[in-house]
Amino acid sequence: MTGTPAPSLPDPSRTRRRVLVSSTVGSTIEWYDFYLYSTAAALVLGPLFLPAGSAAVSTMAAFGTYAAGFVARPVGGLVAGHFGDRVGRTRLLVASVIVMGAATVGIGLLPTYDQIGIWAPVLLVTLRILQGLAVGGEWGGAVLLAVEHAPPGRRAFFGSWPQLGFPAGLFLGTVAFSAAATLPDEQFYAWGWRIPFLVSVLLVGVGLFIRLRLDDGPDFTRARSARRLLDRPLLAAVRDHPGRIAAGIAAALGHGTIVTLFTVWLLSVASGPTGEHRSTALLALMIAAAGQCAVTPVFGALCDRIGYRPVILGGLAAGALALLPGLAWAPGGTLPATLATFVPAMTLGHGAVYAGIAGLLATSFPAEVRFSAVSITYQLGSTISSFAPLVAAAVIATGLGHGVVALLALLVAATAATAVVALTRAPQTGEQVRATPGAGR
């Protein structure tokens, strides 16, 4: 008698490749949507939706709405983290791409202040908050899927792949805005700036197709099978791991301050007071983002080899050091000087920090509280850092001359120093975390 053949087990290598591709592409779509707003805030949103008595006030108002999306991120991370630790990672990722796509397309269709008055900025802020809620849940889920499917000794490398979504999304969004910016100013301000936002309707379909094919990672599956899932995972994380949460917030603050200053505030400065250098600034940012795509997995592999601390600390130093000469170089409008500002900060500085921080945070907490702890930790740090462009614009508006450089240097130094102190409490590698008492339970 012939027995029933045993079902074939899925190929682990094929599963891991699918997870890496899916989490990276899905993350790229989300960050494309989210960072379209940062470029628009630097270039067009102020005069169209937030008119004021001066260009400086209008720009500060636009940066304020940009920060509103970051304020919503911890809320999105809290909600997604709670349900992600209760019902699984993949369902929350599907919800996040739907909310993000709807908000982004809505911004592209939004009437301006001249058309509907005060409702224009009100609706703009509302849609920006929805973007923040979506990306607040997206980051933790995408990172955890990659890290939890990683083989031993490669968690930082696997965690770096969804981190490619940020520079790739920034690159694609900058390409889209660069293409729109080739239009005459009248057409660009009338309708051209809307096209990059409306393209998101196509990307949502791609994102849904990818997300619906994912399975939860082995760590979460084992925790669910062992009945270790908790009713209040965030409260358990805060109670059992307060030091790691505080360290993670500080590390996220250090990286976030650098990236927001370069991709929003310095982009506005480099574009010139009337936007005369806009194309040059966008091209430099696009090249820097492409460079970060190339080096992010390399920095992730390096974290597995030598540890998180030296890689992340090196990135923080590179980003901080690039800002000060950037204040002198970028406003000149020449491509070499603008590249010399953006490439060291984004490709090397932010590339190293961002590649390492995913694995660092994901391996710092046990599976049953991991989504909640990682999401709220990273999003709180990023939210605080989102006010850096607003602070920088306010400092510039004071007209302090050379004192501006000193104040901005102090801002960057303070956040970098906070991150450095936090990293002294952080684990070196994911393997060491799993050897720590309580980390793997």
The CA-based angle 35-203-280, given to 5 degrees, is 40
Could you tell me the pLDDT band of residue 437, with boundaries at 50, 70 and 90?
A: very low
pLDDT value at 74 more than 50: yes
Total structural domains in the chain?
Answer: 1
Give me the CATH number covering residue 263. 1.20.1250.20
CB 251 within 8 A of CB 357: yes
Q: What is the mean pLDDT of residues 400-422?
A: 64
Q: Which of 260, 283, 286 is nearest to 386 (CA)?
A: 260
Q: Which of 81, 42, 86, 93 is nearest to 64 (CA)?
A: 42
Tell whether 4 is covered by a domain.
no
pLDDT value at 430 more than 50: no
Q: Give the pLDDT confidence score for residue 431 in this predicted structure.
A: 45
Tell whether 441 is covered by a domain.
no
Tell whether 439 is covered by a domain.
no
pLDDT value at 4 more than 50: no
pLDDT value at 61 more than 70: no
Query: Which of 51-55, 242-246, 262-266, 406-410 is the least confident region?
Result: 51-55
Q: What is the mean pLDDT of residues 133-156?
A: 86
Better-scored residue on pLDDT, 218 or 233? 233
pLDDT value at 401 more than 90: no
Q: What is the mean pLDDT of residues 8-36?
A: 76
Q: Which of 373, 234, 280, 259 is nearest to 322 (CA)?
A: 259
Q: Which of 84, 122, 83, 125 is nearest to 103 (CA)?
A: 125
Spatial separation of the C-alpha atoms in residues 356 and 163, rounded to whole Å: 9
**Separation in Å, CA 419 to CA 72, 133, 235:** 22, 25, 24
Tell whether 5 is covered by a domain.
no
Q: Which of 374, 348, 423 is nearest to 167 (CA)?
A: 348
Q: Is the pTM of this model over 0.85?
A: no
CB 292 within 8 A of CB 346: yes
Q: Which of 184, 181, 103, 94 is nearest to 145 (CA)?
A: 94
Q: Give the pLDDT confidence score for residue 224 in this predicted structure.
A: 80
Q: What is the pLDDT of residues 197-206, one digit of tens each?
A: 998 888 888 8
pLDDT value at 9 more than 80: no
pLDDT value at 106 more than 90: yes
Q: Which residues contact 362 (CB under 8 A, 6 or more apart)?
A: 143, 144, 147, 148, 155, 159, 370, 374, 430
Q: Which domain holds residue 71?
A: 13-214+224-434
Q: What is the radius of gyration, based on Cα positions, of the chain?
A: 21
Sign of the dihedral defined by the CA atoms of residues 186, 187, 189, 191, in that order? positive
Share of the chain above pLDDT 90, in %: 9
Q: Give the pLDDT confidence score for residue 432 in this predicted structure.
A: 43
Tell whether 2 is covered by a domain.
no
Q: Give the pLDDT confidence score for residue 22 in this predicted structure.
A: 80
Tell whether 208 is covered by a domain.
yes
Q: Give the pLDDT confidence score for residue 120 in this predicted structure.
A: 84
What end-to-end distance do the CA atoms of the chain give, in Å? Answer: 45
Q: What is the pLDDT of residues 121-138, one digit of tens each?
A: 888 888 988 988 888 888
